[in-house]
């Protein structure tokens, strides 16, 4: 996967939302990034309404991108069904893992999710009893088995209570900043392990001048 | 008429139209101005091709206005008319009243006796239905707020002509009998109606009876009659019936002393929800267009430039005064009725002229000694010039005034079009088209349906469907069905050749339309693929595939595997269909290629070869995993 130094990372956003037309937050998030250069937004429910996933085409898509993003609402502590189907079919033995399965080695993996509950719901004493990071362990290990670097997740929490347009806009702006920084490599990769969620340390993680001005 | 004969006359008029309209359009002047200029050029004051018979031609051509109102009626559902009642009565009534009073006051100040001034006021309150609607239509402004208001005012004016005719003779210096009041409007003002001597109550009864007759006839008689005519499948007979209908109503209205324009308008409204409406529209449209053109030419030819040259300053001054007074009144009323600023300006500019009824009313008033020729004749020239000025005023409005409001207007217009036109047209509403249509309607999308089997239409209407009669492959009919505003066209007609021709025609005339075509079989599908049709469905493919899937299940294949096998089969078959459609070569190579594609597909579905079974269940197959060291 040798890539000339300094050229931007290609980013693949695998987006899964079975009722996108009703979503408020995810619509803003997607709109914030879909026009960016070097970013491919792949809407899985739109591409495969009958779940008949074209494995070859999906694998080709993975090969031409450097950062793989799973972007979806957090359903039952996991992804919507089609993204699980996608993992089962596309991350094949011999392609993504196992003997000769090195196609994804060295790529970066990000999870971008929205949750209805807020951060107090996702802790030891909250009613979900586990933190987001704990619940995302299957994704973290999937990335690990495929030889991908797992980044702290981008998490928008408490979407049930996000009423004000400005609040949603702020999250959308953050998402755009994260994706742009991943593309341009303007992120302090060494500081990443300090953060549970990417959102928590945007001002310290991204070294573009415009963001530090905003912060 | 002169002796040159009808053909020479027709040649001159047609040549004038054919030469002037394209030039006017190219210069951005609009067709109305083109016709008017052509009229002036061939008229008695320039080339002298046509002379005194200009006014005869005008009377004949006024029938174009009658047809136009019929077509407008067809477009106007009764419910919409009801919604417009406030603008029609309020805006229209006030416009006539206020304009008449202002002009009368100015006239009195200028030294006319007050009855004369009032008569002039009432006559000049009229605007030109023909010019205004044609110009608005050409600019695509009919559905804006200003367009709707202008239409309402014009409609009121058409109605108001009748009481004005009754009232004018009362203004005559020596009080004149009101007998002439029942005189015919518009087509033949000179001929007294035959029953003019009837007592008033009989007259009223006759009028009401005729109107009720038109409404009842339109509601209950036209449908079976059109159905019988349609079953003959003779297009010209349908056209003849449509013309017969309009001319018949015009005659009947004339007999009872009402405006034929008003009568055909009522008939149009009654037929607005009739399934033959689009066919009627496209049959009448060319006649209307030609006659209106003729009418505009004759208006141009009738402008009396001798009179103009005798008193140029007076006439120019009067034209300007007329335009300014009418504009001011209209603009004020527009604001009063809560049109926004740009719409009020458009509304004022559109209607700031005298109307064709003015010619009739001036000659009527002169005959009744309400006005003297010395007053009436210059005013006729003023009205004609003000009509000719309208397209120019509208252009000025377009270029100089509206750009300041551009953004707000564009958005508004798009909205109103969405409201009134359906986004989907379905051509052919048999077993296939119906399912498409029902799914769309069930999800809240409105469809316009065209079918040419009268029996089918009758059946569907009984179940409450909105279906229109007509051969959907005709461009004029598609036009009438709103193809310009629609987004999708579903072609599901039975005639396979015609379906393919339809794709070519639609691509040419409505390139924005996305086409979804039903193919009868593979060869039919090839035709569509080669033409780049967006969506193609072979009519039996989907159901046959499902049947095959069921058969697999009954043979012991698990449901999910059978389902995926069917989907894989579908994708391969559709890919092969595309390849074959675009493949070139002689018969033998094509057959060989087709065999090869079939063979490939069988291999995919049967083989254990890992490369070929790529998309079938490989991920769920753990054979490879077990072999992994």
Distance CA A212, CA B124 (A): 71
Query: Is the pLDDT reported for residue A212 higher than 50?
Result: no
Angle between helices B312-336 and B93-109 (to 10 degrees): 140
Residue with tokens 């239905």: B129
Q: What is the mean pLDDT of residues B562-576?
A: 89
What residues in B contact A98, CB-CB < 8 Å? 624-625, 628
Q: What is the mean pLDDT of chain B?
A: 80
Beta carbons of B629 and A50 less than 8 Å apart = no
Residues, chain B, total? 629
Q: What is the mean pLDDT of residues B251-262?
A: 80
Assign B377 a pLDDT band (cuts: 50, 70, 90): confident
> So where are chain B's domains?
53-412, 423-606
Beta carbons of B619 and A90 less than 8 Å apart = yes
Nearest CA in chain B to A51: B564
Strand partners, B514: B488
DSSP per-residue string spanning B406-419: HHHHHHHHHHHHHH
Q: Find, among B307, B206, B260, B216, the residue nearest to B60 by Cα.
A: B260
What distance in Å separates residue A55's CA from the closest CA in chain B?
6
What residues in B contact A145, CB-CB < 8 Å? none
Strand partners, A71: A15, A112
Distance CA B399, CA B57 (A): 34
Distance CA B355, CA B153 (A): 12
Q: Between A and B, how many residue pairs show a Cβ–Cβ distance under 8 A? A: 29
Query: Is the pLDDT reported for residue A190 higher than 70?
Result: yes
pLDDT greater at residue B279 or residue A42: A42
Q: What is the mean pLDDT of residues A1-22?
A: 81
Mind listing the pLDDT tens digit for each residue in B198-214? 667 777 788 888 888 88
CATH class of the region B53-412: mainly alpha
Task: Write the CA distances from B293 to B65, B189, B288, B289, integer angstroms.
Answer: 10, 21, 8, 6
Distance CA B524, CA B502 (A): 13
Tokens found for residue B536: 């193609």
Q: What is the mean pLDDT of residues B14-33?
A: 82
Beta carbons of A92 and B619 less than 8 Å apart = yes
Beta carbons of A56 and B564 less than 8 Å apart = no
Q: What is the pLDDT of residue B191?
A: 37
Which positions ≥6 away from B278 have C-beta within 8 Å? B450, B468, B469, B470, B477, B480, B481
Q: What is the pLDDT of residue A44?
A: 96
Q: What is the mean pLDDT of chain A?
A: 89
Task: Write the CA distances from A123 to A135, A139, A162, integer angstroms.
Answer: 10, 19, 20
Task: Write the CA distances from A100 to A31, A52, B450, integer angstroms.
Answer: 37, 26, 60
Q: What is the pLDDT of residue B303?
A: 79
Query: Is the pLDDT reported for residue B178 higher than 50?
Result: no
B residues 588..627 contacting A (CB < 8 A): 614-615, 618-620, 624-625
Q: What is the mean pLDDT of residues B73-82?
A: 77
Mind listing the pLDDT tens digit for each residue in B227-241? 888 888 777 888 888
Distance CA B290, CA B293 (A): 5
Q: What is the pLDDT of residue B52?
A: 61
What distance in Å separates residue B615's CA from the closest CA in chain A?
6
Pairing between β-strand B488-491 and β-strand B424-427 as defined by DSSP bridges: parallel
Considering only the beta carbons, identify the residue of A55, A91, A99 that sits closest to B615. A55
Nearest CA in chain B to A89: B619
Tokens found for residue B525: 């599908």
Assign B186 a pLDDT band (cuts: 50, 70, 90): very low
Mind listing the pLDDT tens digit for each residue in B418-460? 335 788 999 988 889 989 988 988 888 888 888 877 777 777 7
Cα angle B380, B40, B17; round to 5:
125
Strand partners, B467: B449
Nearest CA in chain A to B619: A89
Highest-scoring range by mean pLDDT, A136-150, A197-211, B597-611: A136-150
What residues in A contact B618, CB-CB < 8 Å? 55, 92
Mind listing the pLDDT tens digit for each residue in B459-500? 777 766 667 887 787 888 888 888 888 999 999 998 888 899
Task: Write the CA distances from B385 to B96, B312, B388, integer angstroms.
Answer: 20, 12, 5
Classify A199 as helix, strand or coil.
Answer: helix
What residues in A contact B621, CB-CB < 8 Å? none
Query: Is the pLDDT reported for residue B585 higher than 80?
Result: no
Beta carbons of A55 and B614 less than 8 Å apart = yes
User: What CATH number labels A11-214?
Assistant: 3.40.50.360
Partner A contacted by B85 (CB < 8 A) = no
Q: What is the pLDDT of residue B6?
A: 77
Mind listing the pLDDT tens digit for each residue in B294-351? 888 888 887 788 888 888 888 899 999 999 999 999 999 998 888 888 888 889 999 9
Q: What is the pLDDT of residue B66?
A: 82
User: What CATH number labels B423-606?
Assistant: 3.40.50.720
Q: What is the pLDDT of residue B4?
A: 58
Q: What is the pLDDT of residue B528?
A: 93
Q: Find, among B575, B504, B508, B497, the residue nearest to B533 by Cα.
A: B504
- Report CA Rg, chain A: 17
Distance of CA B424 to the CA centre of its chain: 18
- B464-468: long-range contacts at Cβ-Cβ below 8 A with a sequence spacing of 24 or more? B465/B429, B465/B437, B466/B275, B467/B275, B467/B429, B468/B275, B468/B276, B468/B277, B468/B278, B468/B279
Q: What is the pLDDT of residue B53?
A: 61
Picking from A84, A93, A100, A146 by the largest number of B CB atoms within 10 A of its own CB, the best residue to mutate is: A93
Considering only the beta carbons, identify the residue of B571, B619, B625 that sits closest to A89. B619
Tokens found for residue B10: 């027709």
Burial B28-48 (b: 16+ CB within 10 A, else e): ebbbbbbbbbbbbbbbbeeee
Q: Which of A65-74, B142-151, B226-235 has the lowest mean pLDDT?
A: B226-235
pLDDT greater at residue B151 or residue B456: B151
Q: What is the mean pLDDT of residues A86-103?
A: 93
What distance in Å separates residue A30's CA from the closest CA in chain B?
26
**Predicted model pTM:** 0.62
Q: What is the pLDDT of residue B625?
A: 66
Highest-scoring range by mean pLDDT, B32-36, B252-256, B568-572: B568-572
Partner B contacted by A56 (CB < 8 A) = yes
């Amino acid at each position: 996967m040798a890539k000339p130094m300094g050229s931007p990372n290609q980013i693949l956003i695998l987006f899964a939302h079975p009722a996108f037309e009703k979503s408020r937050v995810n619509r803003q998030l997607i709109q914030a990034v879909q026009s960016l250069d070097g970013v491919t937004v792949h809407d899985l429910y739109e591409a495969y309404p009958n779940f008949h996933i074209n494995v070859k085409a999906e694998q080709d898509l993975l090969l031409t991108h450097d950062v793989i993003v799973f972007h979806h609402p957090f359903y039952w502590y996991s992804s919507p069904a089609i993204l699980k189907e996608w993992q089962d079919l596309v991350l094949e033995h011999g392609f993504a893992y196992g003997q000769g399965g090195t196609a994804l080695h060295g790529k970066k993996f990000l999870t971008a999710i929205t949750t209805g509950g807020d951060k107090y719901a996702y802790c030891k004493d909250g009613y979900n009893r586990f933190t987001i990071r704990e619940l995302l362990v299957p994704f973290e290990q999937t990335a690990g088995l495929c030889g991908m670097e797992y980044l702290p997740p981008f998490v928008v929490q408490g979407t049930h209570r996000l009423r004000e347009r400005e609040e949603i806009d702020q999250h959308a702006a953050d998402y755009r900043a994260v994706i742009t920084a991943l593309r341009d490599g303007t992120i302090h990769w060494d500081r990443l392990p300090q953060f549970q969620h990417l959102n928590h340390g945007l001002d310290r993680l991204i070294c573009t001048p415009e963001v530090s001005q905003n912060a | 008429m002169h002796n040159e004969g009808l053909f020479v006359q027709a040649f001159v008029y047609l040549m004038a139209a054919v030469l002037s309209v394209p030039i006017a359009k190219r210069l951005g002047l609009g067709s109305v101005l083109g016709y008017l200029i052509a009229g002036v050029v061939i008229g008695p004051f320039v080339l002298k091709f046509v002379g005194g018979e200009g006014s005869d031609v005008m009377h004949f051509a006024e029938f174009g206005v009658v047809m136009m109102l019929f077509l407008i009626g067809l477009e106007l559902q009764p419910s919409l008319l009801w919604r417009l009642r406030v603008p029609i009565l309020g805006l229209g009534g006030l416009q006539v009243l206020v304009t008449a009073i202002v002009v009368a006051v100015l006239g009195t100040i200028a030294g006319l006796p007050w009855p004369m001034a009032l008569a002039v006021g009432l006559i000049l309150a009229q605007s030109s239905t023909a010019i205004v609607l044609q110009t608005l239509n050409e600019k695509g402004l009919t559905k804006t707020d200003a367009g709707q208001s202008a239409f309402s005012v014009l409609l009121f004016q058409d109605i108001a002509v009748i009481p004005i005719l009754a009232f004018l003779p009362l203004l005559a210096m020596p009080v004149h009998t009101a007998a002439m009041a029942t005189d015919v409007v518009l087509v033949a003002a000179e001929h007294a109606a035959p029953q003019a001597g009837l007592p008033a109550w009989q007259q009223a009864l006759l009028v009401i009876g005729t109107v009720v007759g038109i409404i009842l006839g339109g509601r209950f008689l036209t449908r079976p009659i059109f159905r019988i005519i349609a079953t003959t499948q003779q297009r010209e007979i349908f056209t003849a019936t449509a013309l017969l209908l309009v001319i018949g109503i015009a005659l009947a209205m004339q007999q009872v002393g009402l405006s034929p324009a008003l009568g055909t308008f009522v008939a149009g409204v009654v037929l607005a929800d009739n399934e033959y409406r689009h066919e009627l529209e496209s049959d009448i449209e060319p006649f209307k267009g030609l006659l209106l053109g003729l009418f505009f030419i004759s208006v141009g030819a009738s402008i009396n430039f001798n009179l103009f040259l005798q008193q140029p300053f007076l006439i120019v001054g009067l034209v300007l005064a007329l335009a300014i007074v009418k504009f001011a009144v209209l603009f004020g009323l527009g604001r009063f009725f809560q049109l926004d600023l740009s719409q009020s300006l458009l509304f004022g500019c559109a209607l700031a002229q005298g109307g064709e009824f003015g010619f009739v009313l001036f000659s009527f008033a002169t005959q009744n000694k309400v006005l003297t020729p010395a007053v009436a004749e210059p005013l006729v020239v003023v009205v004609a010039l003000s009509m000719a000025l309208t397209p120019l005023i509208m252009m000025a409005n377009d270029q100089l005034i509206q750009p300041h409001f551009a953004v707000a207007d564009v958005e508004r217009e798009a909205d109103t079009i969405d409201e009134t036109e359906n986004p989907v047209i379905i051509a052919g509403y048999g077993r296939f088209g119906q399912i498409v249509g029902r799914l769309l309607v069930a999800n809240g999308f409105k469809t316009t349906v065209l079918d040419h089997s009268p029996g089918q239409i009758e059946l569907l209407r009984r179940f409450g469907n909105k279906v229109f009669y007509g051969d959907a492959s005709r461009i004029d009919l598609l036009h009438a069905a709103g193809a310009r505003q629609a987004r999708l066209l579903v072609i599901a007609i039975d005639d396979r050749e015609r379906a393919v021709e339809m794709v070519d025609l639609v691509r040419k005339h409505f390139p924005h339309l996305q086409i979804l075509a039903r193919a009868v079989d593979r060869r039919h599908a090839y035709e569509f693929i080669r033409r780049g049709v967006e969506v193609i469905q072979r009519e039996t493919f989907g159901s046959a595939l499902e049947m095959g899937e069921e058969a697999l299940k009954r043979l012991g294949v698990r449901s999910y595997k059978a389902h995926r096998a069917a989907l894989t089969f579908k994708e391969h078959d559709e890919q092969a269909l595309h390849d074959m459609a675009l493949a070139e070569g002689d018969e033998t190579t094509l057959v060989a290629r087709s065999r090869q594609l079939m063979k490939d597909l069988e291999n995919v579905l049967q083989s254990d070869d890992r490369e070929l079974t790529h998309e079938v269940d490989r991920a769920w197959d753990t054979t490879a995993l077990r072999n992994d060291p």
